[in-house]
Amino acid sequence: MNKFDKIVNRLINHYINKDGNEKHEILNFFNRHNVVLQNFNNLLLNNPNDSNSIVLLGRFKHLGIGNNIDKQKAFKLYQKAANLKNASGIYNLGYCHENGIGTSIDKRMAYKLYRKAASLGHASGINSLGYCYDYGIGISVNKQKAFKLYQKASRLENAAGINNLGYCYQHGIGTNIDRQKAFELYQKAADLGNASGIYNLGHCYENGIKTIVDKQMAFELYQKAANLGNASGINSLGCCYDNGIGISIDKQKAFELYQIAANLGNADGINNLGYCYRHGIGTNVNKQKAFELYQKAANLENADGINNLGYCYRHGIGTDVDKQKAFELCQKAANLGNADGINSLGSCYRHGIGTSVDKQKAFKLFQKAANLGNVFGINSLASCYDNGIGTRVDKQKAFKLYQKAAKLGNSSGINSLGYCYLYGIGTRIDNQKAFELYQKAANLGNSSAQYNLAFMYENGKGIMKDINQAVYWYKKSAEQGVQSAQKQLNNLSPYEDFYL
Protein backbone atom coordinates (compact mmCIF):
# COMPACT_ATOMS: atom_id res chain seq x y z
CA MET A 1 0.00 0.00 0.00
CA ASN A 2 1.50 3.36 -1.08
CA LYS A 3 1.62 6.49 1.10
CA PHE A 4 -1.46 8.01 -0.57
CA ASP A 5 -3.59 4.92 0.08
CA LYS A 6 -2.41 4.80 3.71
CA ILE A 7 -3.44 8.43 4.25
CA VAL A 8 -6.83 7.83 2.62
CA ASN A 9 -7.51 4.80 4.80
CA ARG A 10 -6.35 6.60 7.95
CA LEU A 11 -8.64 9.55 7.24
CA ILE A 12 -11.57 7.26 6.45
CA ASN A 13 -11.08 5.12 9.57
CA HIS A 14 -10.04 7.69 12.16
CA TYR A 15 -10.99 11.22 11.12
CA ILE A 16 -14.15 11.54 9.06
CA ASN A 17 -17.62 11.56 10.65
CA LYS A 18 -16.19 12.11 14.13
CA ASP A 19 -18.08 14.22 16.68
CA GLY A 20 -16.00 17.38 16.98
CA ASN A 21 -14.27 19.83 14.68
CA GLU A 22 -13.62 17.36 11.87
CA LYS A 23 -12.31 19.97 9.42
CA HIS A 24 -9.83 21.30 11.99
CA GLU A 25 -8.62 17.77 12.83
CA ILE A 26 -8.09 16.85 9.16
CA LEU A 27 -6.14 20.05 8.45
CA ASN A 28 -4.02 19.44 11.55
CA PHE A 29 -3.32 15.89 10.31
CA PHE A 30 -2.09 17.29 6.99
CA ASN A 31 0.15 19.80 8.77
CA ARG A 32 1.65 17.14 11.07
CA HIS A 33 2.42 14.84 8.15
CA ASN A 34 3.55 17.57 5.73
CA VAL A 35 0.78 16.76 3.27
CA VAL A 36 0.05 19.53 0.76
CA LEU A 37 -3.72 19.82 0.60
CA GLN A 38 -3.94 20.81 -3.06
CA ASN A 39 -1.67 17.96 -4.15
CA PHE A 40 -3.65 15.48 -2.07
CA ASN A 41 -6.91 16.80 -3.50
CA ASN A 42 -5.54 16.30 -7.05
CA LEU A 43 -4.63 12.71 -6.22
CA LEU A 44 -8.20 12.11 -5.02
CA LEU A 45 -9.54 13.51 -8.28
CA ASN A 46 -7.21 11.19 -10.20
CA ASN A 47 -8.79 8.15 -8.50
CA PRO A 48 -12.38 8.43 -9.79
CA ASN A 49 -13.10 4.71 -9.34
CA ASP A 50 -11.74 4.37 -5.79
CA SER A 51 -14.75 4.53 -3.45
CA ASN A 52 -12.76 5.76 -0.41
CA SER A 53 -11.28 8.61 -2.49
CA ILE A 54 -14.81 9.51 -3.61
CA VAL A 55 -16.04 9.60 0.01
CA LEU A 56 -13.14 11.87 1.02
CA LEU A 57 -13.87 14.21 -1.88
CA GLY A 58 -17.47 14.29 -0.66
CA ARG A 59 -16.36 15.18 2.87
CA PHE A 60 -14.06 17.91 1.54
CA LYS A 61 -16.95 19.40 -0.46
CA HIS A 62 -19.27 18.99 2.53
CA LEU A 63 -16.91 20.74 4.97
CA GLY A 64 -15.22 23.18 2.60
CA ILE A 65 -11.72 21.69 2.84
CA GLY A 66 -9.63 23.12 0.02
CA ASN A 67 -12.81 24.25 -1.71
CA ASN A 68 -15.93 26.24 -1.02
CA ILE A 69 -18.71 24.24 0.65
CA ASP A 70 -20.82 22.53 -2.02
CA LYS A 71 -23.46 20.30 -0.40
CA GLN A 72 -25.09 19.27 -3.68
CA LYS A 73 -21.73 18.05 -5.00
CA ALA A 74 -21.04 16.28 -1.70
CA PHE A 75 -24.38 14.49 -1.94
CA LYS A 76 -23.63 13.30 -5.49
CA LEU A 77 -20.19 12.02 -4.46
CA TYR A 78 -21.64 10.12 -1.48
CA GLN A 79 -24.24 8.67 -3.85
CA LYS A 80 -21.49 7.54 -6.22
CA ALA A 81 -19.53 5.90 -3.38
CA ALA A 82 -22.70 4.26 -2.07
CA ASN A 83 -23.38 2.79 -5.51
CA LEU A 84 -19.93 1.20 -5.24
CA LYS A 85 -21.09 -0.43 -1.95
CA ASN A 86 -18.77 1.75 0.17
CA ALA A 87 -20.06 1.62 3.77
CA SER A 88 -18.83 5.14 4.61
CA GLY A 89 -20.47 6.47 1.44
CA ILE A 90 -23.75 4.75 2.34
CA TYR A 91 -23.59 6.17 5.88
CA ASN A 92 -22.91 9.72 4.67
CA LEU A 93 -25.69 9.46 2.11
CA GLY A 94 -28.03 8.50 4.97
CA TYR A 95 -26.86 11.52 6.94
CA CYS A 96 -27.68 13.75 3.95
CA HIS A 97 -31.19 12.33 3.69
CA GLU A 98 -31.73 12.71 7.45
CA ASN A 99 -30.64 16.35 7.56
CA GLY A 100 -31.49 17.62 4.09
CA ILE A 101 -27.89 18.11 2.91
CA GLY A 102 -27.81 18.52 -0.85
CA THR A 103 -31.23 16.87 -1.07
CA SER A 104 -34.66 17.00 0.55
CA ILE A 105 -35.17 15.44 4.01
CA ASP A 106 -36.25 11.80 3.81
CA LYS A 107 -36.14 10.12 7.22
CA ARG A 108 -37.26 6.75 5.92
CA MET A 109 -34.48 6.70 3.33
CA ALA A 110 -31.99 7.77 6.02
CA TYR A 111 -33.07 4.83 8.18
CA LYS A 112 -32.67 2.38 5.28
CA LEU A 113 -29.20 3.66 4.44
CA TYR A 114 -28.04 3.56 8.08
CA ARG A 115 -29.35 -0.01 8.27
CA LYS A 116 -27.40 -0.93 5.14
CA ALA A 117 -24.19 0.70 6.47
CA ALA A 118 -24.70 -1.07 9.80
CA SER A 119 -25.06 -4.42 8.05
CA LEU A 120 -21.61 -3.79 6.52
CA GLY A 121 -20.17 -3.31 10.03
CA HIS A 122 -19.84 0.48 9.79
CA ALA A 123 -19.64 1.67 13.44
CA SER A 124 -21.16 5.11 12.83
CA GLY A 125 -23.91 3.45 10.79
CA ILE A 126 -24.67 1.12 13.72
CA ASN A 127 -24.76 4.07 16.13
CA SER A 128 -27.03 6.11 13.81
CA LEU A 129 -29.33 3.12 13.34
CA GLY A 130 -29.59 3.00 17.14
CA TYR A 131 -30.42 6.70 17.12
CA CYS A 132 -33.22 6.05 14.60
CA TYR A 133 -34.78 3.46 16.93
CA ASP A 134 -34.21 5.74 19.92
CA TYR A 135 -36.07 8.73 18.44
CA GLY A 136 -38.31 7.18 15.80
CA ILE A 137 -36.42 8.43 12.73
CA GLY A 138 -37.90 6.61 9.73
CA ILE A 139 -38.96 3.71 11.95
CA SER A 140 -41.06 3.13 15.10
CA VAL A 141 -39.38 3.86 18.44
CA ASN A 142 -37.76 0.80 19.99
CA LYS A 143 -35.64 1.73 23.01
CA GLN A 144 -34.41 -1.81 23.65
CA LYS A 145 -33.18 -2.10 20.06
CA ALA A 146 -31.54 1.34 20.33
CA PHE A 147 -29.70 0.27 23.48
CA LYS A 148 -28.40 -2.93 21.83
CA LEU A 149 -27.18 -1.02 18.77
CA TYR A 150 -25.41 1.59 20.90
CA GLN A 151 -23.85 -1.30 22.80
CA LYS A 152 -22.65 -2.84 19.52
CA ALA A 153 -21.21 0.48 18.28
CA SER A 154 -19.53 0.95 21.66
CA ARG A 155 -17.77 -2.41 21.35
CA LEU A 156 -16.33 -1.16 18.06
CA GLU A 157 -14.86 1.81 20.03
CA ASN A 158 -17.24 4.25 18.31
CA ALA A 159 -17.06 7.35 20.51
CA ALA A 160 -20.59 8.54 19.68
CA GLY A 161 -21.94 5.07 20.43
CA ILE A 162 -20.09 5.03 23.77
CA ASN A 163 -21.61 8.40 24.66
CA ASN A 164 -25.12 7.31 23.64
CA LEU A 165 -24.75 4.11 25.67
CA GLY A 166 -23.82 6.26 28.67
CA TYR A 167 -26.97 8.32 28.12
CA CYS A 168 -29.04 5.10 28.10
CA TYR A 169 -27.57 4.05 31.44
CA GLN A 170 -28.08 7.52 32.92
CA HIS A 171 -31.77 7.70 31.96
CA GLY A 172 -32.78 4.04 31.86
CA ILE A 173 -33.32 3.86 28.09
CA GLY A 174 -33.72 0.21 27.08
CA THR A 175 -31.95 -0.84 30.28
CA ASN A 176 -31.88 -0.22 34.04
CA ILE A 177 -30.49 3.07 35.33
CA ASP A 178 -26.80 2.76 36.25
CA ARG A 179 -25.32 6.22 36.78
CA GLN A 180 -21.89 4.85 37.69
CA LYS A 181 -21.70 3.10 34.33
CA ALA A 182 -23.00 6.26 32.62
CA PHE A 183 -20.24 8.35 34.19
CA GLU A 184 -17.56 5.85 33.15
CA LEU A 185 -18.85 5.76 29.57
CA TYR A 186 -19.01 9.55 29.31
CA GLN A 187 -15.45 9.68 30.57
CA LYS A 188 -14.36 7.13 27.96
CA ALA A 189 -16.13 9.02 25.15
CA ALA A 190 -14.59 12.28 26.37
CA ASP A 191 -11.12 10.72 26.39
CA LEU A 192 -11.69 9.79 22.74
CA GLY A 193 -12.41 13.47 22.00
CA ASN A 194 -16.17 13.07 21.56
CA ALA A 195 -17.75 16.49 22.06
CA SER A 196 -21.07 15.13 23.33
CA GLY A 197 -19.21 12.89 25.79
CA ILE A 198 -17.21 15.88 27.01
CA TYR A 199 -20.45 17.85 27.46
CA ASN A 200 -22.16 15.00 29.35
CA LEU A 201 -19.11 14.55 31.57
CA GLY A 202 -19.33 18.26 32.39
CA HIS A 203 -22.98 17.76 33.32
CA CYS A 204 -21.93 14.96 35.70
CA TYR A 205 -19.39 17.21 37.42
CA GLU A 206 -21.85 20.10 37.64
CA ASN A 207 -24.55 17.95 39.26
CA GLY A 208 -22.48 15.39 41.16
CA ILE A 209 -23.63 12.38 39.11
CA LYS A 210 -21.47 9.54 40.49
CA THR A 211 -18.64 11.98 41.13
CA ILE A 212 -18.01 14.94 43.43
CA VAL A 213 -19.59 18.25 42.45
CA ASP A 214 -16.83 20.26 40.76
CA LYS A 215 -18.17 23.44 39.13
CA GLN A 216 -14.73 24.46 37.88
CA MET A 217 -14.26 21.13 36.13
CA ALA A 218 -17.79 21.39 34.68
CA PHE A 219 -17.00 24.85 33.29
CA GLU A 220 -13.75 23.63 31.71
CA LEU A 221 -15.48 20.64 30.10
CA TYR A 222 -18.33 22.76 28.75
CA GLN A 223 -15.74 25.15 27.35
CA LYS A 224 -13.89 22.26 25.69
CA ALA A 225 -17.12 20.91 24.16
CA ALA A 226 -18.05 24.43 23.01
CA ASN A 227 -14.65 24.83 21.35
CA LEU A 228 -15.44 21.67 19.37
CA GLY A 229 -18.65 23.32 18.13
CA ASN A 230 -20.99 21.29 20.35
CA ALA A 231 -24.24 23.28 20.63
CA SER A 232 -25.20 21.82 24.03
CA GLY A 233 -21.74 22.68 25.33
CA ILE A 234 -22.10 26.24 24.04
CA ASN A 235 -25.51 26.58 25.73
CA SER A 236 -24.21 25.17 29.02
CA LEU A 237 -21.20 27.47 28.86
CA GLY A 238 -23.72 30.29 28.55
CA CYS A 239 -25.46 28.98 31.68
CA CYS A 240 -22.11 29.04 33.50
CA TYR A 241 -21.59 32.71 32.67
CA ASP A 242 -25.25 33.45 33.42
CA ASN A 243 -25.19 31.88 36.90
CA GLY A 244 -21.52 32.03 37.92
CA ILE A 245 -20.84 28.29 37.63
CA GLY A 246 -17.07 27.83 37.78
CA ILE A 247 -16.55 31.37 36.45
CA SER A 248 -17.54 34.95 37.33
CA ILE A 249 -21.00 36.05 36.19
CA ASP A 250 -20.97 37.75 32.79
CA LYS A 251 -24.51 38.28 31.50
CA GLN A 252 -23.33 39.75 28.19
CA LYS A 253 -21.19 36.70 27.49
CA ALA A 254 -24.07 34.43 28.49
CA PHE A 255 -26.38 36.18 26.02
CA GLU A 256 -23.82 35.86 23.22
CA LEU A 257 -23.33 32.14 23.87
CA TYR A 258 -27.08 31.47 24.00
CA GLN A 259 -27.32 33.29 20.68
CA ILE A 260 -24.63 31.07 19.11
CA ALA A 261 -26.30 27.91 20.44
CA ALA A 262 -29.69 29.14 19.18
CA ASN A 263 -28.24 29.83 15.72
CA LEU A 264 -27.04 26.21 15.67
CA GLY A 265 -30.64 25.11 16.26
CA ASN A 266 -30.12 24.07 19.89
CA ALA A 267 -33.58 24.09 21.53
CA ASP A 268 -32.23 24.84 25.03
CA GLY A 269 -30.21 27.72 23.60
CA ILE A 270 -33.31 29.08 21.83
CA ASN A 271 -35.31 28.84 25.08
CA ASN A 272 -32.54 30.53 27.11
CA LEU A 273 -32.22 33.29 24.53
CA GLY A 274 -35.95 33.87 24.92
CA TYR A 275 -35.45 34.14 28.69
CA CYS A 276 -32.74 36.77 28.10
CA TYR A 277 -35.07 38.88 25.97
CA ARG A 278 -37.88 38.47 28.48
CA HIS A 279 -35.80 39.64 31.44
CA GLY A 280 -33.23 41.88 29.75
CA ILE A 281 -30.23 39.61 30.45
CA GLY A 282 -27.27 40.87 28.42
CA THR A 283 -29.67 42.67 26.09
CA ASN A 284 -32.70 44.97 26.14
CA VAL A 285 -36.09 43.58 27.20
CA ASN A 286 -38.07 42.51 24.13
CA LYS A 287 -41.14 40.51 25.12
CA GLN A 288 -42.29 39.97 21.56
CA LYS A 289 -38.91 38.42 20.70
CA ALA A 290 -39.05 36.32 23.87
CA PHE A 291 -42.46 34.96 22.88
CA GLU A 292 -41.25 34.11 19.36
CA LEU A 293 -38.19 32.28 20.71
CA TYR A 294 -40.24 30.31 23.24
CA GLN A 295 -42.58 29.37 20.40
CA LYS A 296 -39.62 28.21 18.30
CA ALA A 297 -38.23 26.13 21.18
CA ALA A 298 -41.71 24.68 21.83
CA ASN A 299 -42.01 23.70 18.15
CA LEU A 300 -38.81 21.68 18.67
CA GLU A 301 -40.62 19.86 21.53
CA ASN A 302 -38.41 21.54 24.14
CA ALA A 303 -40.26 21.08 27.44
CA ASP A 304 -38.89 24.28 29.03
CA GLY A 305 -39.86 26.21 25.90
CA ILE A 306 -43.38 24.73 26.02
CA ASN A 307 -43.75 25.69 29.70
CA ASN A 308 -42.42 29.21 29.10
CA LEU A 309 -44.75 29.64 26.14
CA GLY A 310 -47.60 28.69 28.47
CA TYR A 311 -46.41 31.38 30.90
CA CYS A 312 -46.53 33.93 28.08
CA TYR A 313 -50.12 33.03 27.24
CA ARG A 314 -51.07 33.10 30.93
CA HIS A 315 -49.65 36.57 31.54
CA GLY A 316 -49.88 38.14 28.07
CA ILE A 317 -46.13 38.38 27.46
CA GLY A 318 -45.54 39.21 23.81
CA THR A 319 -49.02 37.92 22.96
CA ASP A 320 -52.66 38.18 24.05
CA VAL A 321 -53.72 36.43 27.26
CA ASP A 322 -55.15 32.97 26.50
CA LYS A 323 -55.72 30.99 29.70
CA GLN A 324 -56.96 27.90 27.86
CA LYS A 325 -53.81 27.75 25.72
CA ALA A 326 -51.67 28.37 28.81
CA PHE A 327 -53.28 25.38 30.54
CA GLU A 328 -52.81 23.11 27.51
CA LEU A 329 -49.13 24.03 27.20
CA CYS A 330 -48.47 23.51 30.92
CA GLN A 331 -50.18 20.13 30.61
CA LYS A 332 -47.99 19.22 27.62
CA ALA A 333 -44.80 20.23 29.45
CA ALA A 334 -45.92 18.26 32.51
CA ASN A 335 -46.64 15.18 30.39
CA LEU A 336 -43.04 15.41 29.12
CA GLY A 337 -41.90 15.11 32.74
CA ASN A 338 -40.80 18.75 32.98
CA ALA A 339 -40.72 19.71 36.67
CA ASP A 340 -41.43 23.39 35.99
CA GLY A 341 -44.34 22.32 33.79
CA ILE A 342 -45.71 20.07 36.56
CA ASN A 343 -45.52 22.99 39.01
CA SER A 344 -47.16 25.33 36.48
CA LEU A 345 -49.96 22.83 35.89
CA GLY A 346 -50.47 22.68 39.66
CA SER A 347 -50.77 26.47 39.67
CA CYS A 348 -53.43 26.25 36.93
CA TYR A 349 -55.50 23.85 39.05
CA ARG A 350 -54.97 25.94 42.18
CA HIS A 351 -56.14 29.18 40.59
CA GLY A 352 -58.52 27.86 37.92
CA ILE A 353 -56.44 28.97 34.93
CA GLY A 354 -57.92 27.42 31.79
CA THR A 355 -59.55 24.72 33.91
CA SER A 356 -61.73 24.29 36.99
CA VAL A 357 -60.19 24.85 40.42
CA ASP A 358 -59.04 21.53 41.90
CA LYS A 359 -56.96 22.10 45.02
CA GLN A 360 -56.34 18.41 45.68
CA LYS A 361 -54.96 17.99 42.17
CA ALA A 362 -52.86 21.13 42.62
CA PHE A 363 -51.40 19.77 45.86
CA LYS A 364 -50.47 16.43 44.23
CA LEU A 365 -48.79 18.19 41.30
CA PHE A 366 -46.81 20.49 43.61
CA GLN A 367 -45.79 17.40 45.59
CA LYS A 368 -44.65 15.67 42.37
CA ALA A 369 -42.63 18.71 41.28
CA ALA A 370 -41.10 19.01 44.76
CA ASN A 371 -40.12 15.32 44.72
CA LEU A 372 -38.25 16.03 41.48
CA GLY A 373 -36.24 18.67 43.37
CA ASN A 374 -38.00 21.58 41.65
CA VAL A 375 -37.52 24.66 43.81
CA PHE A 376 -40.77 26.28 42.63
CA GLY A 377 -42.63 23.07 43.43
CA ILE A 378 -41.06 22.99 46.90
CA ASN A 379 -42.18 26.58 47.54
CA SER A 380 -45.68 25.88 46.16
CA LEU A 381 -45.99 22.78 48.36
CA ALA A 382 -44.97 24.87 51.38
CA SER A 383 -47.73 27.34 50.53
CA CYS A 384 -50.24 24.45 50.46
CA TYR A 385 -49.25 23.35 53.96
CA ASP A 386 -49.19 26.98 55.11
CA ASN A 387 -52.71 27.73 53.88
CA GLY A 388 -54.39 24.31 53.82
CA ILE A 389 -54.63 24.04 50.03
CA GLY A 390 -55.57 20.48 49.10
CA THR A 391 -54.25 19.24 52.43
CA ARG A 392 -54.49 20.03 56.13
CA VAL A 393 -52.65 23.05 57.55
CA ASP A 394 -49.19 22.14 58.87
CA LYS A 395 -47.20 25.27 59.72
CA GLN A 396 -44.17 23.30 60.84
CA LYS A 397 -44.00 21.45 57.51
CA ALA A 398 -44.55 24.73 55.65
CA PHE A 399 -41.63 26.34 57.48
CA LYS A 400 -39.27 23.46 56.65
CA LEU A 401 -40.23 23.54 52.97
CA TYR A 402 -39.83 27.33 52.77
CA GLN A 403 -36.43 26.82 54.40
CA LYS A 404 -35.51 24.21 51.75
CA ALA A 405 -36.62 26.49 48.90
CA ALA A 406 -34.67 29.39 50.43
CA LYS A 407 -31.49 27.30 50.67
CA LEU A 408 -31.86 26.56 46.95
CA GLY A 409 -31.87 30.32 46.28
CA ASN A 410 -35.57 30.71 45.44
CA SER A 411 -36.51 34.34 46.09
CA SER A 412 -40.17 33.48 46.86
CA GLY A 413 -39.01 30.86 49.34
CA ILE A 414 -36.62 33.35 50.97
CA ASN A 415 -39.43 35.93 51.19
CA SER A 416 -41.87 33.39 52.67
CA LEU A 417 -39.26 32.25 55.18
CA GLY A 418 -38.91 35.88 56.25
CA TYR A 419 -42.69 35.98 56.73
CA CYS A 420 -42.45 32.86 58.94
CA TYR A 421 -39.87 34.54 61.19
CA LEU A 422 -41.85 37.80 61.32
CA TYR A 423 -45.09 36.13 62.46
CA GLY A 424 -43.78 32.97 64.13
CA ILE A 425 -45.11 30.49 61.57
CA GLY A 426 -43.60 27.09 62.36
CA THR A 427 -40.78 28.80 64.24
CA ARG A 428 -40.17 31.49 66.86
CA ILE A 429 -40.56 35.20 65.99
CA ASP A 430 -37.27 36.81 64.97
CA ASN A 431 -37.65 40.28 63.45
CA GLN A 432 -33.92 40.56 62.74
CA LYS A 433 -33.92 37.31 60.79
CA ALA A 434 -37.09 38.34 58.95
CA PHE A 435 -35.48 41.64 57.91
CA GLU A 436 -32.34 39.88 56.64
CA LEU A 437 -34.37 37.42 54.59
CA TYR A 438 -36.59 40.13 53.09
CA GLN A 439 -33.45 42.08 52.22
CA LYS A 440 -31.91 39.06 50.51
CA ALA A 441 -35.04 38.32 48.47
CA ALA A 442 -35.53 42.01 47.63
CA ASN A 443 -31.98 42.21 46.27
CA LEU A 444 -32.86 39.25 44.05
CA GLY A 445 -35.65 41.37 42.56
CA ASN A 446 -38.62 39.76 44.31
CA SER A 447 -41.40 42.39 44.26
CA SER A 448 -43.23 41.01 47.34
CA ALA A 449 -39.97 40.98 49.31
CA GLN A 450 -39.29 44.58 48.23
CA TYR A 451 -42.69 45.56 49.63
CA ASN A 452 -42.03 43.63 52.86
CA LEU A 453 -38.58 45.17 53.24
CA ALA A 454 -40.11 48.64 52.83
CA PHE A 455 -42.63 47.72 55.53
CA MET A 456 -39.79 46.76 57.89
CA TYR A 457 -38.03 50.08 57.30
CA GLU A 458 -41.28 52.03 57.69
CA ASN A 459 -42.12 50.39 61.01
CA GLY A 460 -38.64 49.82 62.41
CA LYS A 461 -38.96 46.05 62.60
CA GLY A 462 -35.62 44.24 62.73
CA ILE A 463 -33.91 47.49 61.71
CA MET A 464 -33.87 51.17 62.67
CA LYS A 465 -36.85 53.05 61.23
CA ASP A 466 -35.84 54.71 57.95
CA ILE A 467 -38.59 56.31 55.84
CA ASN A 468 -36.19 57.11 53.00
CA GLN A 469 -35.33 53.42 52.66
CA ALA A 470 -39.02 52.55 52.98
CA VAL A 471 -39.85 54.90 50.10
CA TYR A 472 -36.98 53.49 48.03
CA TRP A 473 -38.17 49.89 48.37
CA TYR A 474 -41.87 50.72 47.96
CA LYS A 475 -40.89 52.42 44.69
CA LYS A 476 -38.94 49.34 43.56
CA SER A 477 -41.95 47.14 44.34
CA ALA A 478 -44.41 49.54 42.68
CA GLU A 479 -42.27 49.58 39.51
CA GLN A 480 -42.93 45.85 39.25
CA GLY A 481 -46.70 46.42 39.41
CA VAL A 482 -47.43 45.86 43.12
CA GLN A 483 -50.42 48.17 43.65
CA SER A 484 -50.28 48.07 47.46
CA ALA A 485 -46.73 49.44 47.24
CA GLN A 486 -47.98 52.42 45.21
CA LYS A 487 -50.69 52.99 47.83
CA GLN A 488 -48.07 53.06 50.61
CA LEU A 489 -45.99 55.51 48.59
CA ASN A 490 -48.99 57.82 48.31
CA ASN A 491 -49.49 57.59 52.08
CA LEU A 492 -45.84 58.34 52.80
CA SER A 493 -45.32 61.14 50.26
CA PRO A 494 -46.49 63.98 52.59
CA TYR A 495 -43.83 62.90 55.11
CA GLU A 496 -40.99 62.04 52.76
CA ASP A 497 -39.43 65.53 52.75
CA PHE A 498 -39.48 65.61 56.55
CA TYR A 499 -37.04 62.66 56.67
CA LEU A 500 -34.67 63.90 53.95
Third-level CATH fold of 328-393: 1.25.40
pLDDT number for residue 24: 79
Please, are residues 434 and 462 in contact by the beta-carbon 8 Å criterion? Answer: yes
Domain chopping of the chain, boundaries: 328-393, 405-419+428-500
Average pLDDT over residues 325-351: 97
pLDDT number for residue 7: 84
Helix axes 375-387, 395-407, angle to 10 degrees: 160
Helix (H, G, I), strand (E, B) or coil at 369: helix
Cβ neighbours for 158, distance < 8 A, ≥ 6 positions apart: 123, 124, 126, 127
pLDDT, tens only, 91-135: 999 999 999 999 999 999 999 999 999 999 999 999 999 999 999
State the pTM of this model: 0.85
Cβ neighbours for 423, distance < 8 A, ≥ 6 positions apart: 429
pLDDT number for residue 39: 85
pLDDT, tens only, 9-49: 788 877 777 666 778 788 888 888 888 888 888 888 888 88
Confidence of residue 217 (pLDDT cuts 50, 70, 90): very high
CATH 1.25.40.10 for the 405-419+428-500 domain, yes or no: yes
Helix axes 123-135, 159-171, angle to 10 degrees: 30
Cβ neighbours for 54, distance < 8 A, ≥ 6 positions apart: 48, 77, 80, 81, 84, 86, 89
pLDDT number for residue 19: 63
Average pLDDT over residues 430-450: 95
Average pLDDT over the chain reads: 93
| Cα 24-26-27 angle, rounded to 5 deg | 65
- Give residue 405's Cα distance to chain centre: 22
